[in-house]
């Protein structure tokens, strides 16, 4: 059950993130927070990385280290492809290198948190 759930969660989130990234968003409230868009990218790709880490670890039975690497690489590639698609396939969005940078930082941050959590794991005797 956990295998299916982690993979479905990762796939569902990926589809949702890709869709939200490529559709025209109208009439959104203007948030008065500096760099709110970049904070969203950071958090969105942190969650993306965690979900794919869990999918690689549980659904594909990869080792923790390999799961982290695959999740980070996938997040960076996915974010880059989405940015390019925003520039080429939409008229309301544009490629933003700072968005890609925020995506990458979010993925790396999630990997760091996962790695710290894994290193703190204590085996029960």
Q: What is the mean pLDDT of each run of 10 residues along the chain (125 residues)?
A: 92 97 75 79 98 97 97 98 94 91 98 94 63
Give me the pLDDT at residue 117, please.
94
Give me the pLDDT at residue 93, please.
84
Residue where the block lists tokens 């970049």: 38
Give me the pLDDT at residue 125, please.
57
Give me the pLDDT at residue 96, please.
92
Q: Which long-range contacts (CB under 8 A, 24 or more apart) does 63-71 make?
A: 64/114, 64/118, 68/111, 68/114, 68/115, 71/107, 71/110, 71/111
């Amino acid at each position: 059950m956990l295998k299916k759930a982690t993979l479905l969660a990762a796939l569902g989130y990926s589809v949702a993130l890709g869709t939200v990234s490529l559709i025209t968003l109208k009439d959104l409230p203007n948030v008065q927070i500096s760099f709110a868009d970049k904070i969203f990218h950071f958090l969105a790709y942190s969650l993306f990385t965690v979900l794919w880490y869990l999918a690689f670890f549980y659904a594909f039975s990869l080792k923790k280290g390999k799961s982290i690497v695959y999740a980070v690489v996938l997040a960076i590639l996915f974010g880059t492809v989405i940015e390019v698609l925003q520039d080429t396939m939409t008229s309301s969005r544009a490629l933003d290198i700072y968005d890609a940078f925020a995506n990458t930082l979010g993925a790396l941050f999630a990997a760091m948190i996962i790695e710290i959590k894994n290193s703190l794991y204590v085996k029960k005797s």
